[in-house]
Structure 1
């Protein structure tokens, strides 16, 4: 397929995604701060009942924007205090940038402890962010071989944000609409390649979305438009305590 034909084939999908993002942006503007905090607390309590979280040793957690999505502060603190290796997103210029490749890509870098997490400064979107000057001394999931042994690091669990979610009726997987930059999709593709190179299973990490109830689409609002590069999730935890997707069938544990 020529580049022009490929662009023509993906144009309707891109339009559908942009339209849904615009609709959700308006919808989420009506969600109060108190509701976001309450739903975030429910997601945290529900997450702690899942064996996928309790047994994970190396997890990545998105750090939240101030509005419009689940707040993950309690999750980060709990995971660090539980002794888990906690990795957070870090965006940087793609050293291999070229035709067909993204200009900026994402890695996951490890937090040292709670004090390290509390030292992060907000970026222009209000998201706590890693100081680039500290990157060389941090363990990274996709980083080059270094003294932190990044070359052998793989994740057990990836906690993911999104704009909208629903369920694929044919297989029950969770469909996710991201913010349109492709950071997670490309990261997961590279993580999968790394796992294969290390002789691990094809999908070494469970993918779990965290979302406000308003971000889960009803049949009349859906479906979430997805393409061949959009990675389905293993599960979704909603702000009302519901668990969607394959992980919904997993047994729950008593909380601490």
Structure 2
């Protein structure tokens, strides 16, 4: 496990330098392409309840246009909210992520940026909102689930052996923990046949297309993706192991 963490940190450091060299204009152009790609992308167009990360000002695909399109299309849009774990334990993370619903476009536009420049939910409004792990409340959060999660990441690649799309996050484990809880919730609701789709959004530079660019180290808790939408308009999908 120690060697895995070291490998992940080394790749994050390399990617930080790589992403720091990407111009603002390129990031905005690639973000526009991703947004346009999603508008005709079946997993997105058919999803009724989606989660979208709210982007940092640089270093990743900007999601403002995606959030606006999803709200204007009548989708239920959920965004990340970080809070103290209600199940304190030495074996569990101290802070975890839930997804809370945006009420409408006006609500989204009212969000204030946090210290990283990310639009953030006001904690005082969380209990008024529908959320994935909110429990029984007036918003029926206990029956709420997602169809699609659009995820950020630091780097992505394709496993040369399995063909799986692999993701390197920022190291906090928020998404992996959330996805496992979401799977458990679907099981409790008797909806095992309705898996949430996991798609990454990435600048072209974040996809390591060949071993010479590096590879994404993963452990048993890291979630493989159903696909990756890139800033050049390509959609990378998992492939079967042709040598098996």
Question: Is 1:152 matched up with 2:152?
Answer: no
TM-score in terms of structure 1 length: 0.91
**1:21–1:203: structure 2 CA closer, same or farther, 3 Å change rule?**
farther
Structure 2: how far apart are the matches of 1:139 and 1:169?
Answer: 40
Aligned residue-pair number = 238
Structure 2: how far apart are the matches of 1:158 and 1:196?
Answer: 18
Question: Is 1:210 matched up with 2:217?
Answer: no
- Please tell me whether the aligned partners of residues 192 and 202 of structure 1 are also in contact (alpha carbons under 8 angstroms): no
Matched with 1:102 is: 93
2:153 to 162, 166, 170: 162
Question: Is 1:68 matched up with 2:59?
Answer: yes
**1:105–1:203: structure 2 CA closer, same or farther, 3 Å change rule?**
farther
Matched with 2:74 is: 83
- Cα deviation for residue 129 of structure 1 reads 0.2
- Please tell me whether the aligned partners of residues 192 and 203 of structure 1 are also in contact (alpha carbons under 8 angstroms): no
**1:203–1:125: structure 2 CA closer, same or farther, 3 Å change rule?**
farther
Matched with 1:129 is: 120
Structure 2: how far apart are the matches of 1:185 and 1:22?
Answer: 21
Query: What do residues 102-161 of structure 1 show as CA deviations (whole Å, max 9, x unaligned)?
Result: 000000000000000000000010000000000111000111111100001110000000
User: Structure 1: which 5+ runs fail to align?
Assistant: 1-9, 248-256
- Please tell me whether the aligned partners of residues 158 and 238 of structure 2 are also in contact (alpha carbons under 8 angstroms): no
Matched with 1:226 is: 218
2:183 to 159, 183, 192: 192
Matched with 1:243 is: 235
After superposition, where does 1:1-80 map in structure 2 within 5 Å? 10-80=1-71
